[in-house]
Chain A
Amino acid sequence: MSDSLQRTPLYDLNLELGAKMVPFAGFEMPIQFPAGLMAEHLHTREKAGLFDVSHMGQIRIAAKSGDVKDAAAALETLVPADYVGLAAGRQRYGLLTNDEGGILDDLMVANMGHDLLVVVNAGCKVQDADRIEKALSDRCVVTRQFDRGLMALQGPAAEAALAPLCPAVKDMRFMDVIETELAGVKVTVSRSGYTGEDGFEIGCAGADSEKVARAILAQPDVLPIGLGARDSLRLEAGLCLYGNDIDVTTTPVEASLGWAIQKARREGGSREGGYPGAEVVLKQTRDGVSRKRVGLLAEGRAPVRAGAKLFADAEGQKEIGVVTSGAFGPSVKAPVAMGYVASDHAALDTPVFAELRGKYVPLHVRAMPFVAPGFKR
């Protein structure tokens, strides 16, 4: 594999566990372990799976004033979410937008009490940190923690597996964040993830990552899970993959991510707009958009993949959109997909047809997620 690829702090452990490694976003990452993608996916839905997501970027933002609300207000100039109103110990999803309202990245922001902890996608982390630093450095200290480890423990057995190592997790609910100790290591723990299941994301110093991972893997019902299953799990959960389902050519409104813009930042809200591309997003929210991201379920068994063109008719006459993510859903037991369609074809249960090897296979617009969420509210 290329010398230029980076390794996560769990690289050696991944190899020891038999991972098949592939290049992903500049890192050598485990695509699957010996159990295989299908078994890993199902295990995560039934028990608990541990994912190495250390390639993602962790960034801390501290206000020079010392008041976390000032850091939150500063970040709101880049992200159309309500972070000023985010309580200490809570985490919230958000989007970095550009001047056209396009999405530069999606991210999680946690109010750690004294500062903000931001987690961004691996492929975007340098440009995100540059952008945040440039915009906020007069008011905030922005610290890149790209050498830290990050792992996700996901599945209905996640709490039972983590609690013996860290009893405090039992009292957490979905989107809570704490700083605590796990197996004697200082960690950040959030009750969140990217699978639609209950679970936790655990950050720690790079050097401590293997110790934490080994302690979790030693618990009953926990298996290591690769990026392959991570992708099919998040797709069944209806969650966007940056670069596939959202990018600079899609706006939050087109992407059906309006829920990531809280009331305070919407038209008539106490802090309406005030982020890059706000006029575009506000106008789209008011007037509507010509295309929308929707969930798609196929009638047959043939998976419809990213890039497949979508048509209104079975003859391929009227093109109305494109699939942005598609796979066979191991838990749904059928092909699952999401994509963009013309807004007049975006209503639930609208039939659409995907071009597949010269044929037009029937799908329907369906509600996401495709699996019932397992979050502990």
Chain B
Amino acid sequence: MTTYYTKSHEWIRVDGDQATVGITTHASEELGELVFVEAKDEGTEVAAGDAAAVVESVKAASDIYAPVAGTLAGFNEALSDDPTLVGRDAEGEGWIFRMTVSNPDDLKGLLTAEQYKSL
């Protein structure tokens, strides 16, 4: 499994063409405590950069973008009951959605952990 990052502060952990997506710890800290998280329906096809989910703090809503093209394959239902899980473990239990990646080669265009850290 390999984890890649985006400039818009998503992470994507990939095993073959199956991936899990969330927001980075840095992004979570910037947003503050979340009050609502929602992803588009399972089966939705997304292009890279399409809004695939939304996270909301008290004050604002922020789109979460699909890092690469693919098909949404499930939402982290634990966030429906407790959106603050993202704040406690953004890059683990606080994952937001799963997706099937259309073309694993697209991942090469994303950032490595080192590249993301140096942003």
Contacts and interface: CB of A to CB of B under 8 A. Distances in A.
B100 to A, nearest CB: 22
User: Which 4 pairs from chain A and chain B are nearest by CB?
Assistant: A328-B35, A38-B33, A328-B58, A36-B32
Given A38-B58, A327-B59, 20 more contacts: A32-B32, A36-B33, A37-B32, A37-B57, A41-B58, A228-B59, A232-B59, A301-B80, A302-B36, A302-B56, A303-B56, A303-B58, A303-B61, A305-B60, A305-B61, A328-B57, A328-B58, A335-B36, A357-B38, A357-B54
Given A41-B58, A231-B59, A232-B58, A303 B33 contact: no
> Which of B35, B58, B83 gathers the greatest number of chain A CB atoms within 10 Å?
B58
Interface of B: 32-33, 35-36, 38, 54, 56-61, 80, 83
Task: Output the residue of A39, A302, A305, A335 with the most chain B CB within 10 A.
Answer: A302
Nearest to A358: B40
A52 B32 CA distance: 21
A303 B35 CA distance: 8
A38 B56 CA distance: 12
Contacts of A330: 58
A328 B56 contact: yes
Interface of A: 32, 36-39, 41, 228, 231-232, 301-303, 305, 327-328, 330, 335, 357
Contacts of A335: 36
Contact of B36 (A37, A228, A231, A328): A328
B59 A37 contact: yes
A109 to B, nearest CB: 30
Nearest to B83: A301
Main secondary structure of the interface of A (DSSP, over half): mixed
Contacts of B56: 302-303, 328
A231 B32 CA distance: 16
B44 to A, nearest CB: 12
A244 B32 CA distance: 24
A19 to B, nearest CB: 14
A228 B58 CA distance: 9
B58 A37 contact: yes
25 contacts: A36-B32, A37-B32, A37-B57, A37-B59, A38-B32, A38-B33, A38-B35, A39-B33, A228-B58, A228-B59, A232-B58, A232-B59, A301-B35, A301-B36, A301-B83, A302-B36, A302-B38, A302-B56, A303-B35, A303-B36, A303-B58, A303-B61, A327-B58, A327-B59, A328-B36
A351 B55 CA distance: 26
Nearest to A328: B35
Nearest to A330: B58
A301 B84 CA distance: 13
A36 B31 CA distance: 10
B65 to A, nearest CB: 14
Nearest to A303: B56
A37 to B, nearest CB: 5
Contacts of A38: 32-33, 35, 58
A358 to B, nearest CB: 10
Contacts of A36: 32-33
Contacts of A327: 58-59
Contacts of A302: 36, 38, 56
B78 to A, nearest CB: 14
Q: Most chain-A CB neighbours within 10 Å: which of B33, B56, B59, B83? A: B59
Contacts of B57: 37, 328
Contacts of B35: 38, 301, 303, 328
Contacts of A305: 60-61
A36 B33 CA distance: 8
Contacts of B61: 303, 305
B21 to A, nearest CB: 18
